[in-house]
A and B are shown apart, each in its own frame.
Chain A
Amino acid sequence: MSFTLDRRTALRGMVNGMAVAVGLPLLDIFLDGNGTAMAATGAPMPIRFGTWFWGLGVNPPRWFPSAAGKDYELKVELASIEALKHKVNILGDFTLPLDGKPNLPHISGGIGIRTGIAIDSDRGLPGPSFDVSIGDVIGTRTRFRSIELSATGDPRNSLSGRGNGNLNPAEVSPAALYTRLFGAGFHDPNSATFTPDPAVMARRSVLSGVTDQRQALEARLGAADRQRLDQYFTSLRQLENQLDVQLTKPAPMQACVVPPKVPDLPVNAEIENVMRNHEIMTDLLVMAMACDNVRLFNMNFNNGASSLTRVGSTITHHQLTHEEVLDNRLGYQPEVTFYVDKCMEAWTYFIKAMDAVKEGDRTLLDNSLVFAHSETEFAKFHTIDNIPMMTAGSAGGRIHTGQYITGDGSPVSRVGLTLQQAMGVPVDRWGTGSLETNKIIPGLIV
């Protein structure tokens, strides 16, 4: 393995500071002829799924392409994705019927898209978000089932969870994220040797000891509490799985390079800090995926009613959307649009970072499906039909890319259903009330 060592040493020199987007190809020797499977084991390259959320929507006429179809036109607010346009789909004109329930501003939209349920009062997620269902299929064989991130510093800024008050809290500190991903417990998949850690084995047995308490407790529970306890034990089982993974020698992942440590940085809603934290978190997450420590993620760039601010401004992004004048000459709110542009700039950084990791003749982005969305169409009026959505990556060839797809007013739950099916979730009908659907988006799935 001296070759690997040399290559890695060289890489470390290249990876200066935070930027760890690695452009090095997975050497063919490690892959089969098509670069889709590991030659050593024959196992297929892992397919990853994740969501990327931004709050407060866009200026629809400046963002949505004018016509549906392939090779869509890029409007000014999406101009930054130009280089990766062929790997991105734009989704528009889907609706979120509320069945007479109130439109809870900044809440109904994001939760509706993720759960297929129009909520009637805000008690957190009313049911499982679909990323969790996808994680049940693709996330069980990695050290982390999923990683949730919030670049604005609030752990409650998350749209992922199993419902019933369960929310996967988001990591808010890049330094803490580094420790979680690459601190104690991280095994370099390219290391020649592997020794199971006795401490991990001991912890594994401790957790199974806790699992043994399940029956005794369940026998004493009513139905509602039993459901909550089931969720606790599901979490426990997941933690046990993570430890099982750590007791197994990982398959080599040639793009995997342990990134350098991350310093403690200010974590708050100030836009320049958010941009920086998002970039660092992205780089760490991308490397955790390149090392196959995680295959599922939820990145929250800002929050629903966005609290983003910038130095010298008296109000937040959210307040601006309501209070800033719609400039008659421009046709949009210039201050608000500053933040829209920042969101799209961050999104572009994210997919470029994923695309910079080579896996054979593909990239990490190609082997992934990333679903990006907001919670509002046009924030000034809290509109929730035609909420902007995108996908990036082809999920290893399962998804067509490079098109603008319109839903023609059909329910947005079709998106969740289609993405779940693309990722192998055995579900043919999804959503409740008017959001219930069995119609996937045919143009999306290969």
Chain B
Amino acid sequence: MSGPFRRRARGALLAGLLLSACTVEKAPQTAATPEASFAPMKAPLGQVAGMRRLTEAQYRNSIADIFGPDIKVAGRFEPIVRPVHELIATGASASTISPAGLEQFDAMARNIAAQVFAEDRRSQFMPCTPRDAAAPDADCAARTLMPIGRYLFRRPMTQEEIGAFVMMAGKGAGDGQGFYDGMQLALAAMLVSPQFLYIIESAEPDPEAAGSLRLDNYARAARLSYLLWNTTPNEALLRAADEGRLTDPAQLAAIAQKMVRSPRLEDGVRAFFADMLLFEKFDEMAKDQIVYPRFNPDVASALSEQMLRMIVDQLVTRQGDYRELFTTRRTFINRALGPLYQAKVSSMQGWVPYEFGDGDDRAGLLGQAGFLALYSHSGRSSPTLRGRAIRELLLCQPVPNPPGNVNFTAVQDVGNKAMPTARIRLNAHNSDPVCAACHKITDPLGLPLERFDGIGAFRRTENDAPIDTAGVFEGTAFQGNVGLGQALAASKSTTECVAGRAFQYATGRMPEDEEATAMALEQGFAADGYRIQALFLRVATMADAYRVSTPPLPKPQVAMMTSPHIREGDRP
């Protein structure tokens, strides 16, 4: 091990960058930041209160923020299993890493490490040059790896960890490979470490409540960062954690407030809605080319982006009311989507704002082709799938699965001239009371969307018969998508649902299990005029979200890393 690491004076530049200049926060903070101060962890590491696997987006964002957006992350990510009616964020709290998944993480890690220490790039990440590029240099290795490790592990490394990774770098350099090969190896090891692949939330004794625990400063930094920005804590947050400011409610609130106002909130909001609206289903969506000649891979990939742009515009850019997400006529289109919406977009324009006309039935989230296409069959629309998605995703009202033995005789024949529309076919189908029970829940919300076909294109007729778009929700009758959007906007269930999801997203806990907390959150959301920033801010600063219910460990905590000389292997 090289000599002691001296804590350097804090740079004024960084301190300023921290929390005031919102506009520059969009720029990545790399480990090469020259003025940053780094020291090994002094306090012992606390008890682990939660472990969440990084999602693919979080991994990519973290690498881009730490090493710069020009570092390519090439590989296949092991998917995180989504528990039924829950979020991928909650699945991540139970997810582990399979051998095949780790093989991929290992390949990605080697690839990233090779890019970081490539000749043309390495100087960005190194505060020193090795004495001899062909030999190990423990001091330079330590000075390089410490700041990188602090970003990757979202806390300073312990002295033992630094020692271990420096030793790895030395061993890798030793076989005539040279200093930089050793550095690559050490970095690759950090990138496959569970300390990086899992967001490890650690706890400390709560001085306010004897005998209980609370999330420590670094866990809070990660919580804020992944919740609000979907990425790794930046220098500002880590600094706040270094200084113990995140366990102070007032300072935590001030920091969270600035984060919520940052343009980077856009990334957090995108990730939240992509999770809440099951966007992974876009990867599997298949449409029949013969039935829908206008559908192609460009259209497919634009659909989810359109929805996210519209969500971000309404909720973040305009700081609008969440309820208006179901009624707004504003969206964005690009050239690929032009034909679908019968709008002209020149190839030069990219994504452009677009507003639907007053007489148009398009409005709100449900009028977006992405939603309409995702909840349709490969060759036709589905009022039942759409209605079920609205119930489950937007109202948090799970719909039971169909009974095992279903008689579909009435709905099956889509070409039947006697039953030209989905409504007529479904009505016939629902003469069976077993089916009718659920279809009463789903269909009145899906049938109003029938003027949009299986890829979300507008139509007036089905099999030459006019389409009836009447619907009913919570006792109110309405017409078409516009009416449906207004009904959803007026419903308490809509806003309660998103508030509950935000709670679940941030804490991994189910709102149903903690009614008082969830109710307070919903009331706050209403008081804030249903602004999503305010909701996220409340979730990020709820004292309750930082309490730790984990029972204490049976044995004393040890924060030592085993000596790198002792070979593991006797464990199964």
Residues of A within 8 A of B307 (CB): none
Q: Which residue of B lies closest to A241 (CB)?
A: B99
The answer to whether A148 touches B572 (Cβ under 8 A) is no
Residues of B within 8 A of A171 (CB): 76, 100
Among all A-B residue pairs, the 3 with the closest Cβ atoms: A314-B379, A124-B81, A219-B558
The 28 sampled A-B contact pairs (Cβ below 8 Å) are A162-B96, A165-B80, A165-B96, A167-B79, A168-B101, A169-B78, A169-B98, A169-B100, A203-B188, A205-B185, A206-B186, A206-B192, A207-B106, A207-B189, A209-B165, A215-B558, A216-B160, A220-B47, A228-B51, A228-B96, A229-B194, A232-B96, A236-B192, A239-B102, A239-B103, A311-B288, A315-B378, A325-B412
B28 at the interface (CB under 8 A from A): no
Within residues 442 to 474 of chain B, which ones have a CB less than 8 A from any CB in chain A?
A: 454
Residues of B within 8 A of A314 (CB): 288, 291, 377-380, 414, 454
Do A123 and B291 contact each other (CB < 8 Å), given the known contacts A202-B185, A216-B561, A238-B99? no
From A168, A220, A228, A232, B46 is in contact (CB under 8 Å) with A220
Residues of A within 8 A of B164 (CB): 209, 212-213
Q: Which residue of A lies closest to B292 (CB)?
A: A314
From A166, A209, A235, A315, B377 is in contact (CB under 8 Å) with A315
Report Cα–Cα, A212/B567, bound state, in Å: 7
Residues of B within 8 A of A234 (CB): 99, 572
How many A residues touch B, CB cutoff 8 Å? 78
Do A214 and B79 contact each other (CB < 8 Å), given the known contacts A154-B283, A221-B48, A312-B290? no
Could you count the A-B residue pairs with CB atoms below 8 Å apart for me: how many are there? Answer: 249
Q: Could you list 7 further interchain pairs (A-B, Cβ under 8 angstroms) beyond the known A168-B99, A309-B379, A314-B454? A: A162-B98, A210-B192, A309-B286, A311-B289, A314-B379, A324-B412, A325-B413
A323 at the interface (CB under 8 A from B): yes
Within residues 142 to 164 of chain B, which ones have a CB less than 8 A from any CB in chain A?
A: 158, 160-161, 164
Q: Which residue of A lies closest to B158 (CB)?
A: A216
A348 at the interface (CB under 8 A from B): no
Residues of A within 8 A of B101 (CB): 168-169, 235
Within residues 126 to 180 of chain B, which ones have a CB less than 8 A from any CB in chain A?
A: 158, 160-161, 164-165, 167-168, 171-172, 175, 177
Chain B interface (Cβ < 8 Å from any Cβ of A)? 45-48, 50-51, 76, 78-81, 83-84, 91, 94-103, 106, 110, 158, 160-161, 164-165, 167-168, 171-172, 175, 177, 181, 185-186, 188-189, 192-195, 197-198, 200, 202, 283-284, 286, 288-291, 377-380, 401-402, 404-406, 408-409, 411-414, 454, 550-551, 553, 555, 557-564, 566-569, 571-572
Residues of B within 8 A of A83 (CB): none
Report Cα–Cα, A168/B158, bound state, in Å: 33
Report Cα–Cα, A311/B379, bound state, in Å: 10
The answer to whether A235 touches B99 (Cβ under 8 A) is yes
The answer to whether B409 touches A207 (Cβ under 8 A) is no
Mark A142-172 against chain B: 1 for CB-CB distance below 8 A, else 0: 0001101000011110000110111111010
Dominant secondary structure at the B interface: loop
Q: Which residue of A lies closest to B165 (CB)?
A: A209
Report Cα–Cα, A205/B194, bound state, in Å: 17
Report Cα–Cα, A258/B409, bound state, in Å: 52
Q: Which residue of A lies closest to B405 (CB)?
A: A381
The answer to whether A176 touches B76 (Cβ under 8 A) is yes
The answer to whether B102 touches A213 (Cβ under 8 A) is no
The answer to whether B98 touches A161 (Cβ under 8 A) is yes
A337 at the interface (CB under 8 A from B): no
Do A210 and B177 contact each other (CB < 8 Å), given the known contacts A123-B84, A166-B96? no
The answer to whether A270 touches B286 (Cβ under 8 A) is yes
Do A198 and B288 contact each other (CB < 8 Å), given the known contacts A219-B557, A220-B202, A235-B98? no
